[in-house]
Structure 1
Amino acid sequence: MALRVDLTFDTAHAERLAEFWKLALGYEDEPPPPPFATRDEWAASFDDPEDSGGGAWLHDPAGVGPRLSFLDVPEPKRAKNRMHLDIRVGRSADQWQRIEQKAAELVAAGATILHTTDGHHIVMADPEGNEFCIAP
């Protein structure tokens, strides 16, 4: 049996960071699991007084990419990620132009360009400093 992979981000502002990644990846909000009507109702079912942080959940509407979870945590990000996401624009004759266009779109949404390897990829950070790349 194949297993499914979800990716979880520790965040300072889960809902705000989820909005960025919805734009970056074309993802959508994931509804709460049945039988719950809302995420708040679902979270309350755990009855964990230690867990008072916010959260947001996204999924790929095509069902291809991994589910993303964003969970507020009290501690800040302190170092470079040991794992990062690559946003793939697809190989084509105009791939560098498409990489630059996606980077510009994400900068306008709060990302930062960290490094550019002309013609190959752009290393960026999301609004909370999580590194990712845009590549063909």
Structure 2
Amino acid sequence: MAIRIELTFDTRDAVSLAEFWKVALGYEDEPPPAPLVAAGGSVQATFDGHHVVMAGPEGNEFCVAA
């Protein structure tokens, strides 16, 4: 059974902290858009390599973050 955990940290180096917590929590990288694109979504824009603006199959925009 998968458990979803969301954490928010105040940090000066978010990339290093994210890498640490991915290892600590056993998270395996899969780009967030991949399953959504396979399901009919499309990537509209990517910011800082981890914030992604997408559109669903009907064109409604939403954001995901890795």
The residue that corresponds to 1:103 in the other structure is: 33
For 1:111 and 1:128, the matched residues in 2 are separated by 9
Identify the structure with bigger relative contact order (alpha carbons < 8 Å, sequence gap 6+): 1
For 1:132 and 1:112, the matched residues in 2 are separated by 10
Query: Is residue 121 from structure 1 mapped to residue 56 from structure 2 by the alignment?
Result: no
For 1:90 and 1:112, the matched residues in 2 are separated by 26
Give the total of aligned pairs.
Answer: 45
Larger radius of gyration: 1
Query: Is residue 135 from structure 1 mapped to residue 65 from structure 2 by the alignment?
Result: yes
Return the letter of the residue paired with 2:63.
C
For 1:107 and 1:90, the matched residues in 2 are separated by 25
The structure that is strand-richer by fraction is: 1
Return the letter of the residue paired with 1:111.
G
Give the direction of change, closer, same or farther, for the CA distance of 1:113–1:90 in structure 2 (3 Å limit). Answer: farther
Gaps of 5+ in 1: 1-88
- Correspondence list, 1:75-90, <5 A: none
Normalising by structure 2, report the TM-score: 0.53
Normalising by structure 1, report the TM-score: 0.28
Runs of 4+ in 1 over 6 A off after TM superposition: none
For 1:117 and 1:130, the matched residues in 2 are separated by 19
